[in-house]
Amino acid sequence: MGRGIVILDKLARSALRSQKIPQINHPLTCEIHFKRQRSTSGTKSKEIREMLSQLPLFAGGEIVRGFGRGSKELGIPTANFPLEVVKSLPESLPTGAYYGWANVDNGPVHKMVLSVGWNPFYNNKEKSVETHMLHDFNCDLYGQILKICIVGYLRPERSFDSLEALIAAIRLDIEQAKAFLDEADKGKLKEAPFFSEKLISPK
């Protein structure tokens, strides 16, 4: 059975009112619809503007073991997607920190921050997608299904001079994510049908 299941969806304007996000039965299948975001500042790079036009993105898959650094070194536990899901994200999606919504096994939907990239501070050899949910889980989440909705972009990926500087940057990401997700238009995405529908894994 494949461990990676992914949906990527730029919801049509009326999707939250009248459309359901389709189920899928293949880990590399993508269903993509266009939704225009507010125009971006002229100071933003072309890459960032193109990325913003892809949001929101929805993805789901089994939680697998990562490097074990989130809780032990950073005090910021993360849930990690398998490589199949990571590779299914659009190639044009810039590395960096994002914010959005997430749930586990169709449970309550929580705010989250997300890292997409190689974590240059640690010189990772494989690209990863690591989700930190702003909720305390008192159990092991490995093997459960994580669903995410990537709503917005916080900052580019970069290296840091120290572990303390990395932790401080993540803490700032978390505070910014909380504020952005309290905005009404972003809060609506928490109610997307995607978070309550079953994802089908291939046999």
Report yes or no on 8 lying in a domain.
Answer: yes
**Active-site choice (31, 47, 62, 130):** 130
The torsion of the CA quartet 137, 139, 141, 143, rounded to 10 degrees, works out to -160
Q: How far apart are CA 118 and CA 122, in angstroms?
A: 8
Range of the domain at 156: 4-196
Q: Give the model's confidence band at 79: pLDDT under 50 very low, under 70 low, under 90 confident, else very high.
A: very high
Mean per-residue pLDDT for 141-170?
A: 93
H/E stretch holding 179? helix 163-181
| CATH code (residue 140) | 2.40.30.30
Instruction: State pLDDT tens for residues 7-31.
Output: 554 443 334 333 343 333 333 233 3
- Residues 6 or more apart in contact with residue 111 via CB below 8 angstroms: 99, 100, 101, 102, 133, 134, 135, 177, 178, 181
Q: How many domains does the chain have?
A: 1
Q: How far apart are CA 153 and CA 120, in angstroms?
A: 18
Report yes or no on 201 lying in a domain.
Answer: no
Q: Which of 12-16, 81-85, 113-117, 174-178 bottoms out in mean pLDDT, i.e. has the lowest?
A: 12-16
Report yes or no on 78 lying in a domain.
Answer: yes
Instruction: Indicate yes or no: pTM above 0.75.
Output: yes
Active site residue 130: yes
Report yes or no on 47 lying in a domain.
Answer: yes
**What pLDDT is attached to residue 32?**
28
Number of C-alpha atoms within 13 angstroms, CB side, residue 58?
27
Token readout for 150 is 């990537």
Report yes or no on 179 lying in a domain.
Answer: yes
Report yes or no on 192 lying in a domain.
Answer: yes
Average pLDDT, the chain: 78
